[in-house]
A and B are shown apart, each in its own frame.
Chain A
Amino acid sequence: KAGVTQTPRYLIKTRGQQVTLSCSPISGHRSVSWYQQTPGQGLQFLFEYFSETQRNKGNFPGRFSGRQFSNSRSEMNVSTLELGDSALYLCASSFLTDHTQYFGPGTRLTVL
Chain B
Amino acid sequence: GIQVEQSPPDLILQEGANSTLRCNFSDSVNNLQWFHQNPWGQLINLFYIPSGTKQNGRLSATTVATERYSLLYISSSQTTDSGVYFCAGDPNFGNEKLTFGTGTRLTIIP
Which residues of chain B come closer than 8 Å to A57, judged between CB atoms? Answer: 95
Interface size classification for chain B:
20 to 34
Q: Is A88 an interface residue (CB 8 A)?
A: yes
- The chain B residue with its CB closest to the CB of A47 is B97
| CA–CA, A7 and B103, complex, Å | 26
CB pair B41 A45 closer than 8 Å: no
Q: Is A66 an interface residue (CB 8 A)?
A: no
For residues 60 through 79 of chain B, which have their beta carbon under 8 Å from a beta carbon of chain A? none
Interface of A is mostly: strand
| CA–CA, A106 and B99, complex, Å | 18
Q: Count contacts on A: residues with CB < 8 A to the other chain.
A: 23
Q: Is A11 an interface residue (CB 8 A)?
A: no
CB pair A98 B31 closer than 8 Å: yes
Which residues of chain A come closer than 8 Å to B99, judged between CB atoms? Answer: 45
CB pair A42 B42 closer than 8 Å: no
For residues 23 through 42 of chain B, which have their beta carbon under 8 Å from a beta carbon of chain A? 30-31, 33, 35, 40-42
CB pair A100 B97 closer than 8 Å: no
| CA–CA, A102 and B103, complex, Å | 18
- The chain A residue with its CB closest to the CB of B95 is A56
7 contacts between A and B (CB under 8 A): A33-B98, A42-B103, A43-B100, A101-B45, A102-B45, A103-B44, A105-B41
| Residues of B near any A CB (own CB < 8 A) | 30-31, 33, 35, 40-45, 48, 86, 88, 90, 95-100, 102-103
